[in-house]
Amino acid sequence: MFERTLADLVRGIRNHKKNEDKFISQCIQEIKEELRGDMSKKALAIQKLTYITMLGYDISWASFNIVEVMSSAKFSSKRIGYLAASQSFHEGTEVITLATNQIRKDFLSNNQYEAYLALNCLSNICTPDLARDLANDLITLLSTQKTHILKRTILVMYKVFLRYPEALRPAFPRLKEKLEDPEPAVMSCAVNVICELARKNPKNYLTLAPVLFKILTNSTTNYWMYIKIVKLFGALTPLEPRLGKKLIDPLTNIINTSSSMSLLFECIQTCIIGIPDNLPLMKLCISKLRTLIEHPDQNLKYLGLLALNNIMKIYPKAVSEHREVVLGCLDDEDISIRQRALDLLSGMVTKKNLPDIAAKLLRHIETAEGSYRDRIVEKIVELCALGTYQYVTDFEWYINTLIQLSEVSETAHGPLIASQLLDVTIRVRVVRSYATKQMIALLKSPKLMANPKEGGICEVLYAAAWIVGEFAAYVNNPVESLEAFLQPRVSVLPAHVQSVYMLNALKVFAHASAEAATGGEHAGAITQEERDDQTTVVECTPVDASTVEECLAILHARLPLFTQSIHIDVQERACLVSEILKFYGTMRDQGNDIAGELVTLFTEALNPVAPKAQKKVPVPEGLDLDAWINDPKLQVVDSDTEDSDSDIFGSRVDAGNNGTNDSGDESERSFDISRAKEERIQRNASNPYMLGGGKKTQKSIVDEEMTHIPVAALPANLGPVIVGGKMDAKKKKPKKFTIDTTTEMPENARPDSDDESSSSLHSKRKQDALSSININEPLTASDVLPVARHRSDIQREKEMERERELAAQRAAKRGASSSAKSPQSPTASVYTDITSPEVQAKGGKKSAKSKSAAAPAPAPVVVKKAPAVYLPITLENCEYFTLSFELTKVDQPPQPATSTTSATVPIKLSLKVQNKSDEDLSEVLFTLVESQKDKITVTGKSSAFDIGVLEAGSNTTISQTFNLATNTIIPQLTLKLTGTSSESIDIDIDIPIPMSFFIVKTKISKDKFAEILQKSASMASASVKVPSITIQKAIEILADQLNIEVVQCHPSGSTASFYARTNQNQHIAMLAKDRDGVTSFDIKSSDSSLAQLLVKQLSTLFLKQQQLN
Amino acid sequence: MIKFFLLSNKQGQIRLSHYYDFIPFDQRPAMEAEIVRKCISRNASQCSFVEYKDYKLVYRRYSSLYFIVGVDSSENELSILELIHNYVEILDASFEQVCELDIMFHLEKAHFILDEMISNGHILEISRFHILESVNLMSIADQKS
């Protein structure tokens, strides 16, 4: 059968340009055939599939075949399989688990090319399962000598950490070593991984700073690694300010001398992040950046602007001296560069150049497209609004600019422009007259209504309508504006805009009628003073009764269109307006002109509401917000019986008819609270009295100076400024204006300003599993990686487990009789390191009495939750027994504090004895040695506990409670094990008793501590030195394992004092100092033997810690 | 971290792609097309960095081929440019005057070189000598079996 090779496939695809899809599906059919063939055919097929994946075809159906090819013995096939796997497998690929063992086998293979393939592939396809199953092997592989494999393993580890964060702690010590690897490539990989890790949780890696610093100052030519290290320092310095100082010199050096632009750039970035308070360095950075920005290479220009932007975030004004250069970049033909320059503008504006910059940006809008255009619009608004219009000197200009912006087609910033218009007009009183005039023009213009979409540019009309209505006193021709309000095409606008139109039409009418009735003396009229303050004085044509009639006619003619609106909100407002007008009409017919009363409806000024003001409204006394308003039972019935549609309808009708349908039945009123809230929000959105939106009420410092600038009074005969025409700069006089930055707060607002923004920021910080791991804690028993084992091993272990359970049950039965009186609380179990080399014992044969010593207990770890662990006692030269023991302290029943009777400490010893020989043993017996009998007593009858006959291969567990005399510290329990087989056996066993059994956890204040030290000048002292261990760690270990508590720790972390008390009320005081890589412990104790004993314990304890690390 | 490596010709056809973060296959063609279009539409006088979604694209053009690398915000853009150049030089050395067809017909070799340089989104090896050495050894091992 004819088979296409990969080359044939590629050629075929090129030859079938027109019907590529058809050709490929034909090929896939062939491939499916080939996958049924032998291995070489399969490999060929998979090779082709790999190419096809690249073209965007899903080949997940072939995943199993890929695994097959991966396990091929032939290297070239295997390679194809691995490539296909790394290209197409992902977390959802189920067959990956089938490949676990294949991958393990391959990366441990002697053939380093197979190991390459496996590791490369693993880095691409690592799933949490794979990571968990392979982590242990990979950590082992970290100690390989083969550089090529080592490099890959290090990088794969990063992926493993990501997928299986538990692996980080056990693997980290090895990883740390690699930082000092002589091979630069290995070092570079380790730096890479640690750099990535440090981005997640920099605190963990501070201890590596010295090593990294050494790498930085040793010159290599590997710029990529340099870059990573510099980046890593960037992450570390914010946490450790001293590091920043150390870095100044090397970084300055690199910045000044390096020929590599990438390295230079990275150093500058790190300086900005890490050491921003060093001014000379910052100046150097800024000057270097300037050369980058002026560089003809566009790439450098781009990056220069990027970095300058970062500086600007810290020193907003530092970059202003490069204004010209940055403004020059605005004209660059490259959009990426223009965007970056745009970002920088907020640091560049001044009062003087704001109009120029804005004009420049406006020119750019004409040619810009897509999102860039929107960004420019946003930027112009942002620049002008900066610091509550700090840089705007001419608000008429700003209103014009905003209007110009609203003409930008298809901008997404309608709401933004609208909110700016509202904000400016409300805050800056003097511009109101001008704004109102312009807004009427805007309302009449058909442009904005061309594309009536919610959130689009027609939102500007919302603002325009509101301004015209609210400042209706400045409206010079009410008829004209009412016509604009009620033109038929308004009915295509979004509902909330239409509602605003309705109410504001009423406002305009109210003002006009009041004006006609009172001749400018009504409540809503503006004073002459206010009028004079306006930047633009609009000539108001006097309003007379005929104008009012004209207005009424328009309203009557046009309103019906809106009272029939399909939008309920609009309908409601329109009905309201027409009802009020009807009332006005009837009253006037009766001879009462209520125009003055009508306008008082709208005279109260509406000010911006402070953000969070709503929240700060105090809850009135006696109001329980959580209490039911209606009986909850009714609501249940309601939601069960009525479907939601009719419910909404019912409630909406209520609103629409303005309460006429008030007598609806009970259930109709009790609609869902949440729905009511939603509705309220909706209503508020369309309510001109509610100024929602954070942008409108930007809080900032009041520019007080500005309000106090002495300004010459405007001459009365200045006359109206020509609107829309060219403004003559020379004629322009500085105008007096105030920016009202106050915002309304409810009365008796609660003062507590919960800093919500910062707290939410806090919670936003990524909290993934990897970043929450602390690698500085010492490794504990729980940091064990799963090891793949043969199932027979697992079975055997299960059997052991079962036996132990049985034994424990047996022991419990026995213990019940012997120590029924002392209740056994859950006790802490104790174990020592199994492989500890010191664990040794000499066994005796033929009654040759020999001493055996169990592990001299390198201070046992107290594991609170872990199940009891039996520790082996190695018996040398003993072919009969395997022994393991567990020693726990039996908690004593609470005794009266004054009691001195507690002369003993009860401990429970469980011994597991196995006869490993093939002879049966009889008379197996443990006895307490004579020398210890005065210190230790055995609960129960005798000092011996016997097992009797122990058959070949069998095992048993016995347990016994001992009482240790408390008048002295007993370092070990010595037992004699005797037995008889063909010969008699006699072995001495030493079981170490952890010191913590004798130490009572005591916390005392430092004053008390000093007192004790002073009083007992005659204390015995001893000291011990151990290789460096951080004090923090020492505190943890001592508290954990010896019950010794820290009293005081020097903030620098170099010294700490400890205190403990033995059960004989002997004091132990200890001072730990960390100096020059050696930690010394000075111990003072009332008992010299105690001090010596502690010295021994400490040295073994810390030695063991170090081995663990 | 490097997120993906793309190689496209002037017509926008993808000649090599490697993702270091998984992206579903059905999304890839559209995404690749958009990325390539963004890069191709730029001229020589524009800078080599384009922002695309959360990625920063660093690209470089060699005759008719565009080498496009997508990185996250933490990566140094200039160093990625240097990396691309390094890759091209190695391709050139191992294929002797590399051209588009070489890469198409020896895709696995191009992938292998890439794997030698980048692993798991990080730069693994930069020495031309070392990479070429292992590439050669690998082809020998390939032929032997």
| More reliable by pLDDT, A699 or B107 | B107
Q: At what angle do helices A39-54 and A20-34 cross, to 10 degrees?
A: 150
| SS3 state at A238 | helix
Give the pLDDT confidence score for residue A747 in this predicted structure.
Answer: 65
| Residue A356 CB burial class (10 angstroms; 0-12, 13-18, ≥19) | exposed
Give the pLDDT confidence score for residue B7 in this predicted structure.
Answer: 93
Which chain B residues are closer than 8 Å to A120 by Cβ?
A: 115, 119
How confident is the model over A1066-1081, as a mean pLDDT? Answer: 78
**Residue pairs spanning A and B at CB distance below 8 A:** 141
A197-226 residues touching B, CB cutoff 8 A: 199, 222-224
| Residue A915 CB burial class (10 angstroms; 0-12, 13-18, ≥19) | buried
- Taking the mean position of all CA atoms in its chain, how far away is CA A995? 43
Question: Is A714 a residue whose pLDDT tops 50?
Answer: no
Min CA distance, A149 vs chain B (Å)?
A: 11
To which H or E segment does residue A263 belong? Answer: helix A261-274
Question: Is A943 a residue whose pLDDT tops 50?
Answer: yes
CB atoms within 10 A of CB A208: 18
CB contact under 8 A, B51 and A336: yes
B13-72 residues touching A, CB cutoff 8 A: 14, 16-18, 20, 22, 24-26, 28-29, 32, 42, 45-51
To which H or E segment does residue A324 belong? Answer: helix A323-329
Q: Please give the DSSP secondary-structure letter assigned to residue A822.
A: S
Which chain B residues are closer than 8 Å to A298 by Cβ?
A: 45-48
Return the residue matching tokens 């298809």. A410
| Residue A371 CB burial class (10 angstroms; 0-12, 13-18, ≥19) | exposed
Is the CB of A148 inside 8 Å of chain B's CB atoms? yes
CA-based torsion, A676, A679, A680, A681: positive or negative: positive
Q: At what angle do helices A414-427 and A395-406 cross, to 10 degrees?
A: 160
- 3-state SS of chain B: helix, strand, coil percent to 5? 50, 25, 25
Beta carbons of A1020 and A911 less than 8 angstroms apart:
no
Is the CB of A761 inside 8 Å of chain B's CB atoms? no
Give residue B69's pLDDT band: very low, low, confident or very high (50, 70, 90).
very high
Q: Which amino acid makes up residue A848?
A: A
Residues making up chain B, counted from first to last = 145
Return the residue matching tokens 């409540």. A523
Give the pLDDT confidence score for residue A107 in this predicted structure.
Answer: 87
Q: What are phi and psi of A670, to 5 degrees?
A: -90, 60
Q: Which amino acid makes up residue B100?
A: E
Closest CA to A828 of A641, A616, A996, A607: A996
Give residue A642's pLDDT band: very low, low, confident or very high (50, 70, 90).
very low
Closest CA to A119 of A95, A85, A145: A85
> Which tokens is A129 given?
């399962």
Dihedral class, residue B135 (left if φ above 0, else alpha if ψ from -120 to 50, else beta): alpha
CATH-assigned architecture of domain A999-1108: 2-Layer Sandwich (3.30)
Give the pLDDT confidence score for residue A359 in this predicted structure.
Answer: 87
CB contact under 8 A, B141 and A113: yes
| More reliable by pLDDT, B117 or A787 | B117
β-sheet bridge partners, residue B71: B2, B56
Q: Domain ranges in chain A?
A: 1-88, 108-200, 428-608, 806-993, 999-1108
Q: Which of B18, B78, B107 is closest, CB to CB, to A265? A: B78
> Which tokens is A397 given?
């200009």
Give residue A592's pLDDT band: very low, low, confident or very high (50, 70, 90).
confident
Give the pLDDT confidence score for residue B34 in this predicted structure.
Answer: 92
Which chain B residues are closer than 8 Å to A227 by Cβ?
A: 76, 79
Cα torsion through A608, A612, A618, A624, rounded to 10: 120
Question: Is A788 a residue whose pLDDT tops 80?
Answer: no
CB contact under 8 A, B120 and A80: no
To which H or E segment does residue A442 belong? Answer: helix A432-444
Beta carbons of A160 and A134 less than 8 angstroms apart:
yes
How confident is the model over A523-542, as a mean pLDDT? Answer: 66
| SS3 state at A962 | strand
Give the pLDDT confidence score for residue A735 in this predicted structure.
Answer: 52
| Contacts of the segment A1064-1072: beta carbons below 8 A, 24+ positions apart | A1064/A966, A1064/A967, A1064/A968, A1064/A998, A1066/A1090, A1067/A1012, A1067/A1016, A1067/A1019, A1068/A999, A1068/A1044, A1068/A1094, A1069/A1009, A1069/A1012, A1069/A1013, A1069/A1019, A1070/A1044, A1070/A1094, A1072/A1031, A1072/A1034
Give the pLDDT confidence score for residue A914 in this predicted structure.
Answer: 77
Min CA distance, B7 vs chain A (Å)?
A: 11
Is the CB of A299 inside 8 Å of chain B's CB atoms? yes
Q: Which of B22, B104, B144 is closest, CB to CB, to A91? A: B22
Q: What are phi and psi of A1001, to 5 degrees?
A: -65, 120
Give residue B90's pLDDT band: very low, low, confident or very high (50, 70, 90).
very high
ipTM above 0.90? yes
CATH label of the domain that carries residue B21: 3.30.450.60
Q: What are phi and psi of A354, to 5 degrees?
A: -55, -50
- 3-state SS of chain A: helix, strand, coil percent to 5? 55, 10, 35
Give the pLDDT confidence score for residue A742 in this predicted structure.
Answer: 67
A301-330 residues touching B, CB cutoff 8 A: 301-303
Q: For chain B, what is the domain count?
A: 1
Q: Which amino acid makes up residue A574?
A: A
Best mutation target, A262, A302, A306, A337, to test chain B (most B CBs within 10 A): A262
* Radius of gyration of the CA atoms of chain B, in A: 15
Tell me the C-alpha distance between B107 and B113, whole Å. 10
Question: Is B85 a residue whose pLDDT tops 90?
Answer: yes
CATH-assigned architecture of domain A806-993: Sandwich (2.60)
Is the CB of A69 inside 8 Å of chain B's CB atoms? no
Contacts of residue A882, Cβ cutoff 8 Å, sequence gap at least 6: A872, A875, A913, A914, A916, A955
> Which tokens is A865 given?
């939750």
Q: What are phi and psi of B120, to 5 degrees?
A: 60, 30
Beta carbons of A495 and A570 less than 8 angstroms apart:
yes
CA-based torsion, B89, B94, B97, B103: positive or negative: negative
Is the CB of A998 inside 8 Å of chain B's CB atoms? no
Which segment of A408-412, A482-486, B90-94 scores lowest on mean pLDDT?
A: A408-412
Closest CA to A971 of A872, A821, A876, A1092: A1092
Question: Is A659 a residue whose pLDDT tops 90?
Answer: no
* Radius of gyration of the CA atoms of chain A, in A: 43
Q: What is the 3-state secondary structure (H, E, C) of A108-124?
A: CCCCHHHHHHHHHHHHH
**What's the mean per-residue pLDDT of chain A?**
75
Which chain A residues are closer than 8 Å to B130 by Cβ?
A: 185
Return the residue matching tokens 């632009």. A261
Give residue A839's pLDDT band: very low, low, confident or very high (50, 70, 90).
very low
To which H or E segment does residue A861 belong? Answer: strand A861-863
Tell me the C-alpha distance between A802 and B35, whole Å. 62
β-sheet bridge partners, residue A739: A428
Question: Is A507 a residue whose pLDDT tops 80?
Answer: yes
Tell me the C-alpha distance between A881 and A259, whole Å. 72
For A995-1048, write each residue's pLDDT tens digit: 777 777 777 777 777 777 777 666 777 777 777 677 777 777 777 777 777 777
CB contact under 8 A, A261 and B78: yes
Tell me the C-alpha distance between B33 and A755, whole Å. 45
> Which tokens is A76 given?
């070239």
Cα torsion through A245, A246, A250, A255, rounded to 10: -20
Question: Is A686 a residue whose pLDDT tops 50?
Answer: yes
To which H or E segment does residue A484 belong? Answer: helix A478-485
Range(s) of the domain holding residue B15: 2-144
Which chain B residues are closer than 8 Å to A303 by Cβ?
A: 49, 77-78
Is the CB of B83 inside 8 Å of chain A's CB atoms? yes
CB contact under 8 A, B108 and A83: yes
Give the pLDDT confidence score for residue A638 in this predicted structure.
Answer: 44
Which segment of A157-171, A545-559, A598-612 scores lowest on mean pLDDT?
A: A598-612
CB contact under 8 A, B25 and A231: no
Contacts of residue B90, Cβ cutoff 8 Å, sequence gap at least 6: B113, B117, B128, B131, B132, B135
How confident is the model over B110-137, as a mean pLDDT? Answer: 86
Q: Which of B14, B45, B81 is closest, CB to CB, to A333? A: B45
CB contact under 8 A, A302 and B47: yes
Closest residue, chain A, to B107 (C-alpha): A51
| More reliable by pLDDT, A138 or A1025 | A138
Q: Please give the DSSP secondary-structure letter assigned to residue B126.
A: -
Beta carbons of A351 and A391 less than 8 angstroms apart:
yes
Q: What is the DSSP string of A168-233?
A: HHHHHHHHHHHTT-SSHHHHHHHHHHHHHHHHH-GGGGGGGHHHHHHHHHS--S-HHHHHHHHHHH
Which chain A residues are closer than 8 Å to B25 by Cβ?
A: 53, 56-58, 60, 88
Is the CB of B133 inside 8 Å of chain A's CB atoms? no
To which H or E segment does residue A356 belong? Answer: helix A354-367
Residues making up chain A, counted from first to last = 1109
Give residue B86's pLDDT band: very low, low, confident or very high (50, 70, 90).
very high
Beta carbons of A948 and A924 less than 8 angstroms apart:
yes
B85-124 residues touching A, CB cutoff 8 A: 104-105, 107-108, 111-112, 115, 119-120, 122-124
Give the pLDDT confidence score for residue A728 in this predicted structure.
Answer: 40
Q: Please give the DSSP secondary-structure letter assigned to residue A989.
A: E
For A280-296, write each residue's pLDDT tens digit: 888 888 888 888 888 88
Give residue A809's pLDDT band: very low, low, confident or very high (50, 70, 90).
confident
Specify the pTM: 0.59
Give the pLDDT confidence score for residue A898 in this predicted structure.
Answer: 43
CB contact under 8 A, A231 and B138: no
